[in-house]
Each structure stands twice: as structure tokens, then as C-alpha cells.
Amino acid sequence: MIERISEQRCFGGVQGYYRHQSRVTGLPMRFSVFHPPSESHERVPVLIWLAGLTCTEETFMIKAGAQRLAAECGIMLVAPDTSPRGTGIAGATGDWEFGEGAGFWLDAEKAPWSAHFRMESYLLDELLPLVFDQFNDDHDRLGIFGHSMGGHGALTLAFRHPGRFRSVSAFAPISSPCRCPWGRKAFSAYLGDDAADWARHDAAELIRARGAPLFDDILVDQGSDDKFLHDQLLPRELESACRDAGQPLTLRMQPGYDHSYYFIQSFIEDHLRFHRRALAAG
């Protein structure tokens, strides 16, 4: 059962915020949905946004400026929170790089995190079926994109679940978390110390191991002045892996842009149009 927190008119559609009790995480979870005007009379494609470290279900909807074009394109936008909240786990709060607000879009396998931090199963097995059941959307036309930690999540979930998503793109994704401090910190706690377990949630390692393309193209935008570019994000690792696998990748280095939502605002239209083409009926 979905609890409506709020709904406001927005570009002819509705911006909604919702809450439900999750059987997967064992805690209340929040998510947001932009309902385009066309949803009132036809089933619409769905585009999932996965946000980055410290973000919530509100961040993208408030900061990205995506609703105007989503209304024009007839695309439903869905943004889940980035982790369970109020877990009561020692060390789950107080560190912006890890814990609550930093679920890394995977299912933790090590206690105590495995009790609640199950974001992959939550998104795919609970939230999406709930959205498909409650709203007038087309589950066969599903795309995914995200930013930073959420860009990592978008890429890895698209690679881990072939055929589930028609399209994938990312802004400044953590392209190879096995090789960066953010990833190593999260993976060692959530998954343990076995590097083979880490590779199952690393976009570069996943597509390289597959050795074959999954999508006609993947769009990635990365700011050249992003302070996390060289030690955390590592887009060239993704570029190299896609080249090895024969996976088409459009990696655009954007001069002068940083890691912020001003960067996302600047190129969000390109991403929505990219997904609209892939999510067209048929």
C-alpha cells in the first residue's frame, strides 16, 4: 500500500512523493514520481533515476529541472531514496560516504548491513512492481539513469539484468568502484573482502566479462572540472571495458563542468531525449 505524502501540479502533470512499508528492507521507504500529463489517457514509459551519495528521493526532482521535458516526452520519472533510513545500525550515520544515504544500489551480504541494505532487490523486486501496479505506466518500456553513486547503480543494474531495461545513461558515474576509495570502502563492509564479489557490482568489470554489447549505445556525461574525476569516478575504465566488449559508448567530457546538479541541469535534456528514442513504442 502506497501512502501519498504530497502531490503538486507541475507542467500539466503531477509531482508526487510517496511512502510505503518495504518487505525487502524491513523499513519504511520513500520515493518520488513525476506523472506526465499523457499518463491520464495512455500507458507511459518509465525512466528510473538513481541518485548519488547523501541524496534522497527529493534531490533529483527538486534540482535537475527534468519535469518540463518529461512532460513533453510523455515519460514517467521515478526516483527512490538512496538507502533505508532509521536502521539503528551502529556506524550507519555520520559518514556521508557510507551507510544511510549511500546504499550503492546493491544487496549487502554481510551483517549487520544485510538486514536492511538490500537496494537492488528493493528496486527491482518491490518498488518497480509497486509502481507498475499503482500507476498507468508501461513496464515493457523501462529505462534507467543516475548520477555518481547512482550512475554506478544504473550501469551495474543494467548490465546485471540483461533485457530488463531498454536504455541506460549516466552523469559522472563511479565507473569502477573496485578501483576507487568510495567503492572499496562500501564494498568491503557490504560484501566482504573477496574482490570477486566486488567485481559483480563494478560496471567496467561486468561489461568486460560479458564480452558483448547489451545496448545500441550508452550515454555518459562527465565534467572535466569534477573534483572526483581522477580518484573516484574513473570514466576511462568504463571506456576501455566497453571498447573491449564491443559495447557502443558515447562518453562526453564536458569542459569546465563539475559534479553538481548545475552540471546535470545543463545536459538533462540530452539524456531525456536519448531515453525517449529508446523507449518509443514498438
Q: Which residues are catalytic?
A: 148, 226, 259
Pairing of strands 3-10, 76-80: unpaired
